[in-house]
Amino acid sequence: MSRKRHVRDIDDLEDRPLLEVENLKTYFQTGHGIVKSVDGVSFDLERGRTLAIVGESGSGKTVLSRSVMGLLPPQNVIREGRVRFGDVDLTNASPQELRGLWGAQISMVFQDPVTSLNPVVRAGRQITESLRYHLAMSRQDAKETAISLFRSVGIPEPENRMQWYPHQFSGGMCQRIVIAAAIACGPKLLLADEPTTGLDVTVSAQILDLLNRLQQERYMSVIIVTHDLGVVTGRSDDVIVMYAGQVVERAPTTTLFRDARMPYTEALLKSAPRLSNPSHTRLHTIPGNPPNPANLPKGCRFAPRCPYVQPKCREEEPPLRQAEAPRHWYACWYPVGTPEGVRALEENQAAGVPAAMGVV
């Protein structure tokens, strides 16, 4: 019996989102207490759309993507909530079901392309193995398909470089191989976790353009995890902003850049370098440090670093609420650009409140 039968076909479920994440929590039990890496995250992803998940290091982005995939260590992990992919409940899927989905229906591009590849296995074989396992291809058909995939992701002389080992490729070429392996079986969902880490600016742009082209050609749904808002512009339909394990703002990309409501989102946007700025312009930084996920503050988790902070922020955690624009949600008591937000900022500035301390 072909292994392909283990993979569920979800093409008949066009009337519902491809991916549904509902109140997902991923906690780690450590010697320092419970670490709340992902704390009540919910979102949907439609077919053929690209979602960007942004935030500082430690905000929970990578843990969220691995939790969605089911790629978590078996010990000392508390995972609650629900993740549905088509008609499959990934939170309760068996290891056999997950193996049938990984690579075939859901794929992931990891942060470090060099360590993502097996150093003692030729590059071509790292693609043909997946094709033979999931699609039951013959050895020759798998080889021809892998060569075609190498060519589609821009690897020159694919017939020869199929025989190369990972150490013989540059970092950018390794990332292209990882992407070729990820799309080999035609997945419906691709997760890219910091896909440009360690790559120079030019190669990073090429990799992002490649992902964008493949997404459009194959009508994949894509989740890009990044700390760089420059990656988001022009390459995503929607954005989720995470802070300390929670979603603090969610909006269509153009809406977020034009009308951010959460002060943390505003700070991230200000921190991004701009070509329009003169040379040697000092970059804006976000004062203070993210909270310890094992000892989270009461109220809004961004309050100790927020220039809009008020006493209420330290006592009550703001819920996600809808803005005026469609599909725009934010979690803030004194949102940017509103009368209450302007008043809070002006009061703090007049009082000389240092944002990093959050003194009120």
Could you read off the pLDDT of 123-147 as tens digits, one per residue? Answer: 999 999 999 999 999 999 999 999 9
pLDDT of residue 47: 94
Q: Which domains does the chain have, with CATH numbers?
A: 3-236 (3.40.50.300), 263-274+287-351 (no CATH)
Q: Spell out, as residue ranges, where the chain has pLDDT lower than 70.
A: 1-15, 354-360
pLDDT of residue 274: 73
Question: What CA–CA distance (Å, rounded) separates 244 from 27?
Answer: 12
Q: Which of 188, 1, 6 is nearest to 96 (CA)?
A: 6
In contact, 332 and 265? CB cutoff 8 Å: no
The model carries a pTM of 0.90
Question: What CA–CA distance (Å, rounded) separates 206 from 280?
Answer: 26
Question: What CA–CA distance (Å, rounded) separates 253 from 41?
Answer: 19
